[in-house]
Amino acid sequence: MSGPGGPPGYPPYPGGQQPVAQPGCVRHPDRPTGLLCVRCDRPSCPECLREASVGFQCVDCVREGARSVRTPSTVAGASGAGSSVVVPALIVVNTALFLFTVLQGLSLQHNYRSALFQDWVLFPPAVVAGEWWRLVTAGFLHYGPVHLVFNMLALWFIGRDLEQVLGRARFTAVYVVSLLGGSAAAFVFGAVYSQVAGASGAVFGLMGGLAVVLRRLNRPPRPALTLIAVNVAISIVLPGISLLGHLGGLVVGAAATAVLVYAPRADRVRWQVVGIAALVAFVLLVMGARMALLS
């Protein structure tokens, strides 16, 4: 037995008082601790504490604080984090389809002889006959390797930065809508019996989108406008290029991007969805009117 001064063989406690028992950790009650969380003042063992800007906080307070921190976003509402995913995927798809048409058509330069190419190329009479998918699939076909390489390089250098600003889903929306806009312009205003293919309409849409983003960020849009002017001039000078498809993609892509980056912050996603849907509906309406005239 021990007396009031402490166990036998040990010096007495100061003042003859017994030591105060330490409280148990709030998450591990069986672990006595003298440490407290600086935020909630609850006892916490070393395993449950995390270093904060001032002192240490328990894991519960750290988790709660992380929820209250607003994640930074871009002008389009995207997180702006992570590497580009959509652009490499598009390049892989376009390249794979080109190689397939080369193997099927048994020609590198004349891959348009491929059966798949002829089934997917934009040909207005076929669209009027009900093969509406050509308006989309034509944007994934290319006439020869030079056509493919130029479009994929432009997609790579322009698309990566734009994907970071818009986010993957919004970037994909701009790309698809631009592709549709290019096809619509070629279908509505182009020669009836012409065949059009290529990702140029979508790429021009990204160029227009880049100019809009720079303007929205109050940065000089001159580099993007110069790039657009040079490519439009090339489209005029070189034969066999669909200027209408390029201009259609440019205008629709710029409009789609403007919808995304100028949408009000309050309920931004809803405004963006409605705006993109309205733009698609307008493009489809114009194409529908053209189909009615050609029928």
Using an 8 Å Cβ cutoff, are 57 and 45 in contact? no
The amino acid at residue 294 is L
Neighbours of 107 (CB within 10 A): 14
Using an 8 Å Cβ cutoff, are 224 and 207 in contact? yes
Q: Is 246 a catalytic residue?
A: yes
The token pair at 139 is 């944007």
Q: CA-CA distances (angstroms) from residue 46 to 25, 34, 53, 63, 233?
A: 9, 10, 17, 17, 68
Q: Is 200 a catalytic residue?
A: yes
The token pair at 294 is 């050609």
Angle at 71 between CA 70 and CA 73, to 5 degrees: 120
DSSP label at residue 280:
H
C-beta contacts of 212-217 below 8 A and 24+ residues apart: 212/254, 212/257, 212/258, 212/261, 213/75, 213/162, 213/165, 213/166, 213/257, 213/261, 216/75, 216/261, 216/262, 217/75
Distant-in-sequence, close-in-space partners of 121: CB < 8 Å, separation ≥ 6 = 112, 134, 138, 141, 195, 196, 197
Q: How far apart are CA 142 and CA 148, in angstroms?
A: 6
Catalytic: which of 44, 114, 178, 200?
A: 200
Residues with catalytic roles: 200, 246
